[in-house]
Amino acid sequence: MPVLLKMIEATERRGPAIEPREIKQEGEAGLRITWGDDCVCLYTAAELRRACPCAQCVNEWTGQRVLKPEAVSDELTIADLSIVGRYALNFRWSDGHETGIYSFRYLRDLGDR
């Protein structure tokens, strides 16, 4: 599928595809989300931390990722997890970082990669 069509499809995704039915931390470094359309996505703490969307990790003006993937240890763990409203998750990582807000749409897009 061409990249533009994938971007349009992801942008237009609504309803059950981006509504989590279950969010479960698995061990210290794993996360499993079962979406409303029965898709199950598994994430590791390190991959989520490397994809952090916050302004410390992504330049707000250019969209360029500032965080270098090699700066995040594969041994990183989820120290805490909380729901933000009805649209996102916030993590506190074992490296002390905690400013990223991961929208459900963003998490679903990461899980579909």
Q: What is the pLDDT of residue 22?
A: 97
Distance CA 100, CA 6 (A): 24
User: DSSP strand E in 12-105: where?
Assistant: 20-26, 30-35, 40-44, 78-84, 88-93, 101-103
Digit-coded pLDDT (tens) for 75-92: 999 999 999 999 999 999
Least confident of 5-9, 31-35, 88-92: 5-9
Digit-coded pLDDT (tens) for 62-75: 999 999 999 999 99
State the pTM of this model. Answer: 0.84
Is it true that domain 3-111 has CATH number 3.30.2020.30? Answer: yes
